[in-house]
Each structure stands twice: as C-alpha cells, then as structure tokens.
Amino acid sequence: MSTWHSYFKEQGHAPDWPYPIRFDQKQEIDADVLVIGGGIAGCWAAISAARQGAKVVLVEKGDTIRSGAGGPGCDHWCNVPANPVSNVDPDEWAVHMADRPYCNGIGIQIQCREDYDCLLELEQMGGKVRDTADEYVGAQGRDDKTKFMISPRYTRIHSYFPVPETEAEKEKFLKSEHKLSNVVIRVWGSTFKPALKKECQRLGVKIFDRVMTTSLLTEKGVQGTRVVGATGLNSRTGEFMIFKSKAAILATAGPGSIWLISTELGGYCNMMPRTVSGDGTAMAWRAGAALTTMENNMVLRIATGYKHKWYTGAGDASYENVPLVDANGKALPYPIQGWVDWGAMVPFPEVEQVVREKILKGEYKLPFYGDFPAMPEVERRATWNLMLGEESTTKVITKTFNDAGYDPSRDLLQSYKFIEGNSLPQWREASHSGGLLVDWDLKTTLDGLYAAGMQMFAPEDHSYAAATGRYAGRKAAAYARQVGESRISREQVALEKARVYAPVQRSSGMEWKELHAGIARAMQYYCSEFKTESLLKMGLGTLRRIEEEAVPLLFALDPHKLMRTMEDLSLLTHAQIIVNASLARKASSIPLNFQRVDYPALDPPEWNKYITLKLENGKVKIGELPLAFWGDMKKQYEARNKDYTGVYKGK
C-alpha cells in the first residue's frame, strides 16, 4: 500500500515535504495578458491572446494538462449551431437559447457564432472531434460525409427550457414538424486538455502550474480602479508570486462546496472538485468588480454525499439514451432522451409522480435498470464507449465497470432513481449561477479585467467556456496593445502577502476543514430554502463572526494546506456575497430558485431584473439591469467583431 499510514508504519516517521519550501521568497512576472485559471476557458484565452502576439502568462492551481472541470474529458460539444450538419441558423438559435430569464445572452451569442470555429481549431491542435476511425458507422446522427457524430441530446428543443406544459405542446414536440436541430456534437474530450496545454506551450505562453491566484492588484491599490496584476501562492513551495499585467482574464470556476459540510464526502459526490472554490469571483469582488445573479442557487443534483456519481442531470448513466426497466424488466414510461423523444434530460414531473405511485402499488418493482442490452449494438457502443467513456469523471467509472466484468451487451446497469432519495433542500450549489457582469467585449466593470467561462454570470457548458475564453483572449490582447505600462502598488502587495502567510505563522488553532464546515453550516441555516430578512441578517452576522473570530485562528502546516485555507477564505467571501445578493432581491423567483418567505409573490414584474452588486469604498453597493440588457444580439456581436475571420460565413 502507498498510504501515508503504511509509509509511517514501515519507516517509523512521516515523509519529508517533497518540495523545496520557499515561504520567504517571491517572484515577479510581467505579462501583456495574464490568464487566471488554466481550465478550458483559460487555455483558450491564453491561446487566443498569444495568437494576437501578446506576451501571455497563464496561472493554474492544478496542472494545466488535466485541470478544470473539463480536465478528464468532455463528451458533448453542446451548442454548435454553425456546424455544417446543423439545421438551425446560429443567430436565431442564439436568440432561442437566450429566451430564458437570467441567462447570459452575450456569452450565448458568442458561443453560437464561434463554437464551431473552436471545434475545428481544436482538431488542428490534436483534439479528436470526428469518428475518423469509423467506429460508429450506422449510429443515428453520424454524418458519413463529415464523420461528425450528432448527439441525440436536445434534438428538437433545448432541455434547459421549461418543459412543455400542455398535452398539445408535448404532441407538438414529439411529432414535431421542427427538424432535428443538430446543434450538439459528440466529441472525444479526453484528448482536449493535453492538446490545449501543448498549443499554449507551442505559442510561448508562460505557464505557472500549482499556483493559486490570491488577489487582483489594482491601480494605486484602490478598489474599483484598473486591474494591473495579481498575486499568487505556489501550493507546493509556498513561494509568493507577483504578476504585473496590462490586461487580465479571470477564468477560474464557481464555488463548488459552500453548502457542503463534509469535505471528505464532497470529493466523490460533487460535480466539482474541492479546488473549485470561487477564488476568481472573490478576488474580483474585493477589487471592486460588479457581480450579478449571485442570489441564484439550487439544490445539489448529485452531490449529496451519498449518491452514486455519474454526472449531472439525470444523475446516473443508466438513463441517458438507455431505456429504463424495472426489476422485472417492465419498461418504464421515461423519455429515452434523444432520437425517439424530444430531447429532454429529465421526465415530466407528472411522469415521475406516476412512476412513484406505481412503485407504491407494487406495479413497478425496484430497483430500476438501464437496459443496455436492449439497445442497437452501435448505439450502445456510442453511449457506453463514447458518451460515457469520454465524459469527465465517467471515463474512469466505465473503466472500473469494464475491469470488474460488466458487459453492456449482456448486463443491465442498476439505476439509483428513487432508491437513494432526493437531496436535502439545504444542500445547495451555486457554481452555475452568479458571476461577473460582462459587456460585449467580455470585459468586467473594471478596466483591464475580462472574464470567461464559469467566471461570468449564468455560465453554460464546456464548449461555452472554450468559445468565451477564446473571445476574451482576443479582446484582452487588443486592450493590452493600446494601454500603457501598469504600475503595481507595493503597499497592496505587502498587505496581501501578510494576509496569505498569516496561517503559516501559527502551528495550532483552527484548520481549514473546520472553517469550511462552519461556513457551510451558516449557509445551510440562514441562506437556504427559506429566506427572510432576519434569517439572512443572522447569516451575515454569523459569517462576520467567523471572519472576526475564526479566521485569525487559522493555521496551516504546509503550502498545500495553506492553499486549502486560502480557498476557504474565498468561499467565505463568496458566501457573504450570496447573502448580500439574497437580501437585495425582495421577491421570490422560480427561475432563480429563490424563495423569500417575507416576499412570497413569485416573479412580480417589477422584480424581473438582474440585481448587481459590488464593493465601493468597502461598502456593498446594489444596482440593477433589465433582463436582456445586452440588446440585439446579432447586431451587437457584429458591431464589435467586424474584423473577425472565423469559419462561419452565414447560412
């Protein structure tokens, strides 16, 4: 065994820290464009800026080769209406996609226009996006000319849409006169991240792996002014990093575990790894950037700590594309998402209810199973080997099943529907909702600061991160060309250095896990399903006490634990932002999953607007923006991208 304890038992002592300790050292690095976060959005931003000739520095908390939510893989290029097999117009599709309250029309338009360009470029870099080995000839959706594999996901309407409510609407979609949209392409996403890192290196991007960015530096150290750089911490050596930049792009992820008490259980049942701690949002907030939709969060779909983890949506792989049967082999009336249905990820609530009732009456016997053997051979392979075999964390899950003897042509895969229950309402997630307010250049409200991917408000999927990262990269590079040198404030750097290193000055007190649990508990009690002015204010008070009383006790024994401690401080800031945003919205809202007990009216017209918030002179300042504040998407996009020479030339 290779556990720490087995080492201890064999050697009689703990292993030495394997990396040099450099707490007292610092490095200063200059960049035209500084990219913070080396996931999908960050890599694309770095590549795009470097292609414009900018001197690019990329800072990543893990190792860029596999970091980020899309690090292990990706099975769907989700929104690529400009592809040659698509049946929809990208601009019309963008409008259709943005016809949802509290989405981000700017990002969606960019994705719809440029996602196909990203895909082709990815292929040039070495990513696999077509069935070049002819493994899936005969699969529905495979285009024999281009060898693209159109996915059965969202075939006619997008599943993010409210489900059709009436029988007539359902009929319309089931027997739709609409053509298949063909906007989603299946991809071999496990090839992507290494290809992106290699392209970054080829273009001379200077990559700093295992460095957590801890703060943004602003002109003269003043909140709300131009961003001129950032500070970082090497999580292996403890070295302090100072980055100076003309433009910076934030491309980190949202907060993965604000409501999760157990850090251990968070690991294997959360969509997001522990490293997803909202660092970017927290540092942008402290720098004075405006955020929006921060009050939006929802019940965790899979991250209960007790569920089997496949991926989001339906929750387990026995479902998507696969007919579900009960323990006696009786077919269940679930939609088989895809070709034979209207492309939904989940059944209608009333179908779910009928199934539940029939379980109680004994008509359906638990557990349920995904009937892989009943599928046509090529469709089964496309689902098991390609869709599940290439998607993020499911890649290793399918491997584990295969190694243990599971054979999808012979065996039914157990479904955990109904037998593992629902998530509790106080187990919530906010990683796909709030974020930085951006304009049509993906610039934030601070000069010199851009945002991409999950860093923006209302982000979408992997391909969205790619397209917006690539876009932010070229806009930031253009800005960097026309601004003068930046000057960083030594005083601001010194203050941040003192903040970062405080926990290593102590060897006892409170460790990061306890702080994490304390934050989560405060959010579960005071900012969960039921919100009222007084509960939220109690929440703010509790978080303030944590800041005043617990944070000064924090200790970290090594650079890794120091990083985890700094992540908790990001989560603490993030939690405070969420509570402040929740206080600002004095109305309940269905699309925001937001229930104010003291303001029960649902989505009253006067509250159908974005709430924005930022820090100004250290005080929270609330603002608002109308829905669809981005204007005419096609016109706005075209006005700002006249010189763009992408692949899409109109249909």
Partner 1 sequence: MSQQKLSAIPNVVTPNAPVIFNPDICNGCNTCVEVCQIDVFIPNPEKGKPPIILHPDECWYGGCCVNDCPLPGAITFNWPLQQRGYWKNKATGEIHQI
Give the residues lining the site for partner 1 (CB under 8 A).
1-5, 7-8, 12, 15-16, 18, 62-63, 65-68, 71-72, 190, 210, 235-236, 263-264, 266-270, 272-275, 306, 308-309, 329, 367, 369, 371, 373, 392-393, 395-397, 399-401, 403-406, 410-414, 560, 564
What is the smallest separation between the CB atom of 617 and partner 1, expressed in angstroms? 37
The least CB distance from residue 569 to partner 1, in Å, is 17
Looking at the Cβ atoms of 28 and 377, the one nearer to partner 1 is 377
Pairing type for strands 240-250 and 291-292 reads unpaired
The SS3 call for residue 624 is strand
Between 150 and 387, whose beta carbon lies closer to partner 1? Answer: 387
Return phi, psi of residue 611, to 5°. Answer: -95, 125
Instruction: Evaluate whether 292 touches 332 at the Cβ level (below 8 Å).
Output: no
Question: Which CB atom, from 267 or from 425, has the smaller least distance to partner 1?
Answer: 267
* In the complex, minimum distance from the CB of residue 27 to partner 1, in angstroms, rounded to a whole number: 20
Give the count of alpha carbons within 13 A of 276, CB side only.
25
DSSP of 91-117: HHHHHHHT-STT--HHHHHHHHHHHHH
Using alpha carbons, list the distances in angstroms from residue 460 to 107, 455, 466.
Answer: 9, 10, 11
Q: How far is the CB of 362 from partner 1 (least distance, A)?
A: 19
As measured in angstroms, the least distance from the Cβ of 5 to partner 1 is 5
Considering the complex, state which of residue 66 and residue 170 has its C-beta at the smaller distance from partner 1: 66
Nearer to partner 1, 14 or 168 (CB): 14
Select from 536, 621, 524 the least CA-distant residue to 583: 536
User: In the bound complex, what is the minimum distance in angstroms from residue 6's beta carbon to partner 1?
Assistant: 9
Q: Which is nearer to partner 1, 62 or 434 (CB)?
A: 62
Q: Is the dihedral of CA 217, 219, 225, 227 positive or negative?
A: negative
* Phi, psi (rounded to 5 degrees) for 644: -70, 125
Beta carbon of residue 74, minimum distance to partner 1 (angstroms, whole number): 13
Burial label for 498, CB within 10 Å (0-12, 13-18, 19+), is exposed
Closest separation in Å from C-beta 226 to partner 1? 32
Q: Name residue 419's amino acid.
A: I
Q: 333 is written with which tokens?
A: 């009336």
Tokens describing residue 592: 């925001």
> With respect to partner 1, which residue has the nearer C-beta, 396 or 597?
396
**Strand duo 227-234 + 240-250: pairing:** antiparallel
Closest C-alpha to 240, from 502, 570, 451: 502
Q: 203: which residues sit within 8 A by CB, 6+ positions away?
A: 46, 47, 50, 51, 56
- Work out how close the CB of 416 gets to partner 1 at its nearest, in angstroms, rounded to a whole number: 9
The values of phi and psi at residue 289, to 5°, are -75, 150
Rounded to 5 degrees, φ, ψ at 216 are -100, 145
Whose Cβ is closer to partner 1: residue 318's or residue 444's? 318
Quick one: which of 344, 282, 272, 340 has its CA closest to 303? 272
Contact at 8 Å (CB) between 140 and 151? no
214 vs 493: CA distance, rounded Å: 11
As a whole number of angstroms, the distance between CA 54 and CA 41 comes to: 17
Bridge partners (DSSP) listed for residue 150:
185
- Taking the complex as a whole, the smallest distance from the CB of residue 432 to partner 1 amounts, in Å, to 17
For the CB of residue 419, give the shortest distance to partner 1 in the complex, in Å.
10
Question: What is the C-alpha to C-alpha distance for residues 156 and 178, in angstroms, rounded to an integer?
Answer: 7
Token match 């959706």: residue?
141
Nearest alpha carbon to residue 469 among 244, 272, 184, 249: 249
CA gap 618, 122 in Å, rounded:
43
The residue among 97 and 510 lying less far from partner 1, judged by its C-beta, is: 510
Q: Which residues of 24-36 are buried (b: 16+ CB within 10 A; e: fewer)?
A: eeeeebbbbbbbb
Residue 62: CB minimum distance to partner 1, A:
4
Query: Residue 116 or 401: which CB sits closer to partner 1?
Result: 401
Return left, alpha or beta for 305; rule: phi > 0 is left, psi -120 to 50 is alpha, else beta.
left
In the complex with partner 1, the residue whose CB is nearer, 39 or 224, is 39
Q: Cβ of residue 548: shortest distance to partner 1, in angstroms?
A: 28
CB of 512 to partner 1, least distance (A): 11
Q: What angle do the packed helices 533-545 and 559-584 form, to 10 degrees?
A: 160
Closest CA to 127 of 508, 466, 549: 466
**648 - beta bridge partners?**
none
Q: Which residue lies nearer to partner 1 by CB, 284 or 413?
A: 413
Of 301 and 395, CB closest to partner 1: 395
- Shortest CB 454 distance to partner 1, Å: 15
Which residue lies nearer to partner 1 by CB, 38 or 434?
38
Return the closest-CA partner of residue 281 out of 479, 437, 474, 124: 437
Supply 526's token pair. 């005071």
C-beta closer to partner 1: residue 260 or 290: 260
Nearest distance, CB of residue 175 and partner 1, angstroms: 32
301 neighbors 432 (Cβ within 8 angstroms) = no
Smaller CB separation from partner 1, 394 or 573: 394
